[in-house]
A and B are shown apart, each in its own frame.
Chain A
Amino acid sequence: MSSDILPLSGLRVLDIGRMVAGPFAARLFARLGADVIKIEPPGGGDPVRNRGPEQAGGRRGETGPLHLYLNEGKRGITLDLASVTGRELFLRLVALSDIVIENLEPGELAELDIDYTALERVNSRVVLSSITAFGTGGAYEGFTASELTLFAIGGHMFRSGTLGRPPIRMGGYPAQCNAALLAAYATLVAERARAASGRGQHVEFSIFENQVISHAQAMVEVSYYGEETGAHSPRGSQGNRGVVAKDGLAMVSAQEQQMPRLAELLGAPEELGRPDPMDASASKRELDERLRRWASDRSKRDVYEQAQAVNVPASYVAGPADLVDSPQYSNRGFIHQIQHQDAGTFSIPGLPFRWEGAEAPIAPPPRVGQHNAEVLGDLLGIERRQLPALAAAGVI
């Protein structure tokens, strides 16, 4: 039984990304069994480590939830890529790697002289995966971006929030996660192409363009009609609004053919479930009112479960506690427990898809430079006693 072979066994990935997009993609590779080495600046490491809250009594920068989430499963080394020696060590690692992932600022790779041309020279088979805001070429080339600004320009933001108030972004890191998932795909595809071509290539991904593509309906409308009709949730309305349950919000999304079942669930007269098309809005209002009363009388989870039990699409607004307690997530083993030397025990989501033997065991995220001795030793033959000089020179 080849149970030790994971999907990406044998692939070595160098993660020189910072914050979210690059490291998120790199973590997906780690979950799938690649050997992922995260390379951080010496000293404070990746600025993602500054995002808290930090655990009392832990080392600085080792216990922030965002870092813990994004860098699970990787080995961690430090290299000052701006120094001659640091760059040289990096290129020696590139020569032994399959994929390099980055999401640095525009022009930064070139400034450090580690752009694709430089990498290709030391390893013609390496795939460089660049997750960028706007890509190269075009009026916005060189623009810097944050999650807020990427979400803002990508199209979704225009419809969000209430008229009269600023548009509001989606929480978490939607633009970057959306991009990283697809960029990871494109990277694996480029890696696969090596079998036929014998060489690597540069994969460049634009987060902005991915957001635009993800805003599909509006883009098709404007392409076909010249403008968006706004038929689906214009700004200022939430379209299918939620209902208020005892402990939070829920939503019941009955379509026309599900109305009869909904009416029955609510104990409403049957006619309300099959309204006269001439009188639909009044029926709808009454049904909505009954739904509101019904929902206010039960927990959000009960609204969800009871509507779903009669095949009416429904949901509830799940907070992190709900996710951790979710029977669905528990059953599927989506959330893992992990022990970490600085943070203690915490929960972390795994991959959102699975098959037998697909996922590597969860491994704690590294301290800054934790694997310097191991990686530089095993891969580059650098002896331990040479490390202090490298540290003193600020290279590691």
Chain B
Amino acid sequence: MTRPLDGVTVIEAGEGIPAAYCCWMLGVLGADVIKVEAPAGDVTRRLGPFPHDVPDREQSALYLHLNRNKRSIVLDLESATGQELFRELVAGAAVLVEHGDPGWLKARGLGHESLAQSHPELVSTTITPFGQEGPYRDFAASEITLMALGGLMNIAGEIEREPLKLAGSPAHYSAGLFAFTSTLMALTLAEASGVGQLVDVSVLEGLTCSHFQDLVEFEYTGDVRRRGTGKMPIPTQDGFISFAVQAHHFPNFRRLILGADAAPDEASEDLINRDRQRLEGEMDNQILEWALQRTKYEAYFEGQTEAHIPAAFIAEMQDVLDSPQYEARGYFVELDHPDGESIKFPGLPAQMSGVEWEHRRAPRLGEHTIQILNELTDLTADEIAEVRAAGVI
């Protein structure tokens, strides 16, 4: 069965989250993704988590998640031989996606300009913390520093306390997503025109993009949004529930909490003038009482199906894995791995009616080195053995 990116070869270089995430998605779309790893392996192989806490480069959950649908080749890009082999791989590819310090490939003679000389259709996507120019270009960065600089940290947490980073690595995943969409666009253009280009993705910008609303508000009104204005989740018997009640939800919400036979309240029926938040605040005790009489699932379902209001329980990991909603959509993918137990992974959140996704496990380090060299270079078996013995592959 054909997939949108069948026949497209993607070279992934560097390490970390964004390029890997981007290339995973390209791989699900059918591209042949060749992940180039240093002899020590991608850093995510060392970040875990690991089964039973025992570090094992083939069983790091982060690596296994980010690198499905790819083949792995080891290339030591510090060596001239490794650089030459890299050029040969890229020569047979449509796309190069990389994440690392700005200019790291160029410093090894592998920058886009140099590669595109003999391969003008090449699309190179480079993902860096701040982009390829600007006063911060060469600054060191991490998820927390980018979140701080990008404005997201200032508005998270409580006003009386320090700002809070969001959980996980949303900045880097966002960057991967932006790289994914831009790369697809550049690829389409290259296929049409025969000319590739350099796609320059900044993690910082991707982060800021995701909460532009606050920026626009500031520009418009001069108001700086303050953290701590979010609502607290409400405890139930076995977890937490929260409601996002807007004006038109309020009557239903009131009836849900106080009961269908609650006395009508003029203030709450006044759609235009009522002060929703104050009114909701007056119901705090009843809300709490109502919630504590229910499990989080019960509260959630009642709120949704009886009152038609946006209700949600705070899902823990098991809730997500057990969710009938995800199950119905076949969202989770279960994959075996030669080194460990079979694991469930998140699939692609988009379904295409004409295509069925294929999901393959992440590769072992250098698992496809020889296969790839045989396909894309003219190295003999002896030459491969020598290059291997020198530690370049």
Contact = CB atoms under 8 A, between A and B. Distances in A.
Answer yes or no: A and B touching, Cβ < 8 Å: yes
A391 B46 contact: yes
Describe B's contact surface by its main secondary structure.
loop
Interface in B30-83: 38-41, 46-50, 52-58, 74
Interface in A341-396: 368-369, 372-373, 384-385, 387-388, 390-392, 394, 396
A181 B49 CA distance: 43
A54 B391 CA distance: 13
A387 B367 contact: no
Contact of A396 (B47, B49, B55): B55
Contact of B39 (A43, A385, A394): A43
A44 interface: yes
A117 to B, nearest CB: 30
A60 B366 contact: yes
A52 B387 CA distance: 10
Nearest to B391: A50
Interface residues of A, number: 24
A385 B53 CA distance: 6
A373 B55 CA distance: 8
B119 interface: no
Nearest to B38: A43
B55 A387 contact: yes
Interface string B209-246: 00000000000000000000000000000000000000
A392 B367 contact: no
Interface string B8-43: 000000000000000000000000000000111100
A44 B391 contact: yes
B364 interface: yes
Nearest to A44: B39
A306 to B, nearest CB: 39
B388 interface: yes
Given A44-B391, A387-B54, A60 B40 contact: no
B283 to A, nearest CB: 44
A391 B50 CA distance: 10
Nearest to A369: B55
A53 interface: yes
A18 to B, nearest CB: 12
B272 interface: no
Contacts of B53: 373, 384-385, 387-388
Describe A's contact surface by its main secondary structure.
loop
B46 A392 contact: yes
Chain B interface size band reads 20 to 34
Given A42-B40, A385-B53, A392 B47 contact: yes
A391 B55 contact: yes
A24 to B, nearest CB: 18
B390 interface: yes
A59 interface: yes
Contacts of B155: none
B50 A53 contact: no
Contacts of B369: 60
Contacts of B390: 50
Interface in B375-393: 385, 388-391
Contacts of B366: 60
A391 B55 CA distance: 6
A392 B390 CA distance: 27
A384 B52 contact: yes
B309 interface: no
A47 B41 CA distance: 14
Contacts of A372: 54-55
Nearest to A66: B389
A391 B44 CA distance: 10
Contact of B50 (A50, A54, A368, A388): A388
Nearest to B76: A44
A59 B46 contact: no
Nearest to A58: B364
Interface of A: 42-44, 47, 50-54, 59-60, 368-369, 372-373, 384-385, 387-388, 390-392, 394, 396
30 contacts: A42-B40, A43-B38, A43-B39, A43-B41, A43-B57, A44-B39, A44-B41, A44-B391, A50-B388, A50-B391, A51-B389, A53-B385, A60-B364, A60-B366, A368-B57, A369-B56, A372-B54, A373-B53, A384-B52, A384-B53, A385-B53, A387-B54, A388-B48, A388-B49, A388-B50, A390-B55, A391-B47, A392-B46, A392-B47, A392-B48
Given A47-B391, A60-B369, A388-B48, 17 more contacts: A42-B40, A43-B41, A43-B57, A44-B41, A52-B385, A54-B388, A59-B365, A60-B364, A60-B365, A368-B57, A369-B56, A372-B55, A387-B54, A388-B49, A388-B53, A388-B55, A391-B47
